[in-house]
């Protein structure tokens, strides 16, 4: 995101810009002041089940989940690992898309997910979740800035939406954000997710081999969705500018499905084991998300690769877990390249899943015969 600078000109109005990366499975916040746009601060502290303030979980992103009770609702890290919660409700704002369904979603469902229309529509869920994000953003600013500065400085929110969303879905997002207290009219900004990601990534990479007129495919691979769109570089100086070269496409094939496939892998292999229980499953899932290597708490079984109570995943095991998801991503990439009339010079990977070495190498192999470079953005998980 580009912020206006004053260059010593005090006539430029001072503002605080709060960027909201409202994701399908995870969301993020980052802020900056227009007088000091080079200083951009991501929010990494979130409330959890034990703390409602800034002493809770530390993470670049917070789960896009909400759970209701008679006492109100919990959100993000406040929700325990088990129990019904609303997930993926962002996708309900655009009825012109797949409606939150895909082959992977049907084959590997999440048993903790509340039914999409269980008691509340998507706009209510989005409004309540964005309200929680807004309240936390204001709490962070009160902690970071003097009260006098907050009183005299307007705060403007910028929220991202998928490039493939309809005008109606973008209007719904704006309406939810307004109801969540993020501003109205010109003080609330709605921008395209991939465009924001591309501008950030290209600026951070400062690629010396990108020239005006070059066309590239942006692959924004997150937890729930993988979205692609093609851009052409229209200017490098005085500021980087890009324009759409081909409409985008996407699907529900993000990294969340790796966890779901691993969950099924464990149940198929170990559910009959006398040592198998929910605690072992929970620990296994946590370790898979972090290391994807070992699972403690199992009885030794050489046939299943368990030794000294630990399961070691072979390269073949990992490939089988990744293959269904990666195959769908590669299909999207090839379709996007075909839809782009101009020659594609590079594929730029952003998003949390976009930083996967396995995914990058798989895409690189799939397009090797076309001479297309595959690049990963530095710190691509934090796009806002």
Q: Which residues pair with 58 in a beta bridge?
A: 45
Per DSSP, the three-state class of 208 is: coil
What does the pLDDT read at residue 96? Answer: 67
What does the pLDDT read at residue 12? Answer: 57
Which of the four pLDDT bands, split at 50, 70 and 90, describes residue 120? confident
With a cut of 80, say whether residue 46 has pLDDT above it: yes
- Residue-wise pLDDT for 311-339, tens only, equals 777 888 888 899 999 999 999 999 999 99
Sheet holding 226-235, edge to edge: 241-251, 226-235, 215-221, 344-350, 373-376
Say how far apart CA 91 and CA 202 lie, in whole Å.
Answer: 27
What does the pLDDT read at residue 128? Answer: 97
Name every residue whose Cβ is closer than 8 Å to that of residue 194 and which is 6 or more positions away in sequence: 162, 163, 218, 220, 227, 228, 229, 231, 248
Mean pLDDT of the region 41-53: 90
Mean pLDDT of the region 84-97: 84
Return the higher-pLDDT residue of 11 and 266.
266
- Residue-wise pLDDT for 264-291, tens only, equals 988 888 887 777 777 777 777 776 765 5
With a cut of 80, say whether residue 113 has pLDDT above it: no
Say how far apart CA 204 and CA 199 lie, in whole Å.
Answer: 9
Say how far apart CA 276 and CA 280 lie, in whole Å.
Answer: 6
- Residue-wise pLDDT for 201-253, tens only, equals 777 666 557 789 999 999 999 888 899 999 999 988 887 888 999 998 888 89
What's the mean per-residue pLDDT of the chain? 85
With a cut of 70, say whether residue 116 has pLDDT above it: no
With a cut of 50, say whether residue 184 has pLDDT above it: yes
Helix (H) or strand (E) holding 241: strand 241-251
Mean pLDDT of the region 106-134: 82
Q: Which of 113-122, 160-169, 172-181, 184-193 has the highest mean pLDDT?
A: 172-181
What does the pLDDT read at residue 384? Answer: 38
Q: Which residues pair with 376 in a beta bridge?
A: 349
Say how far apart CA 370 and CA 334 lie, in whole Å.
Answer: 11
């Amino acid at each position: 995101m580009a912020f206006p600078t004053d260059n010593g000109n005090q006539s430029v109005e001072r503002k605080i810009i709060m960027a909201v990366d409202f994701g399908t499975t995870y969301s993020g916040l980052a802020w900056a002041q227009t007088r000091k746009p080079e200083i951009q601060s991501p929010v990494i502290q979130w409330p959890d089940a034990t703390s409602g303030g800034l002493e809770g979980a530390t993470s670049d992103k917070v789960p896009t989940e909400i759970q209701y009770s008679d006492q109100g609702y919990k959100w993000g890290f406040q929700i325990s690992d088990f129990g019904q919660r609303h997930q993926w409700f962002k996708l309900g704002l655009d009825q012109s898309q797949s409606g939150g369904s895909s082959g992977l979603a049907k084959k590997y469902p999440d048993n903790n997910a509340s039914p999409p229309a269980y008691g509340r529509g998507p706009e209510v869920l989005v409004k309540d979740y964005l309200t929680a994000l807004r309240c936390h953003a204001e709490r962070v600013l009160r902690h970071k800035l003097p009260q006098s500065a907050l009183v005299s400085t307007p705060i403007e929110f910028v929220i991202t939406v998928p490039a493939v969303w309809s005008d109606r879905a973008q209007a719904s997002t704006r309406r939810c954000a307004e109801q969540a207290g993020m501003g109205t009219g010109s003080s609330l900004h709605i921008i395209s997710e991939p465009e924001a990601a591309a501008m950030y990534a290209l600026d951070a990479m400062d690629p010396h081999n990108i020239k005006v007129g070059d066309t590239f495919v942006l692959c924004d691979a997150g937890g729930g969705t993988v979205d692609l769109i093609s851009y052409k570089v229209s200017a490098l100086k005085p500021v980087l500018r890009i324009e759409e070269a081909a409409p985008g496409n996407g699907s529900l094939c993000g990294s969340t499905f790796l966890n779901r496939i691993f969950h099924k892998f464990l149940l198929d292999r170990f559910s009959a084991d006398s040592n198998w229980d929910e605690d072992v499953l929970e620990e296994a899932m946590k370790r898979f998300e972090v290391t994807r290597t070992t699972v403690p708490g199992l009885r030794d079984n050489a046939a299943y690769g368990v030794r000294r109570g630990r399961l070691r995943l072979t390269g073949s095991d990992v490939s089988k877990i990744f293959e269904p998801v990666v195959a769908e991503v590669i299909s999207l990439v090839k379709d996007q390249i075909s839809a782009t009339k101009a020659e594609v010079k590079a594929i730029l990977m952003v998003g949390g899943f976009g930083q996967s070495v396995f995914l990058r190498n798989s895409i690189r192999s799939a397009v090797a015969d076309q001479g297309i470079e595959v690049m990963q953005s530095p710190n691509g998980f934090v796009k806002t």
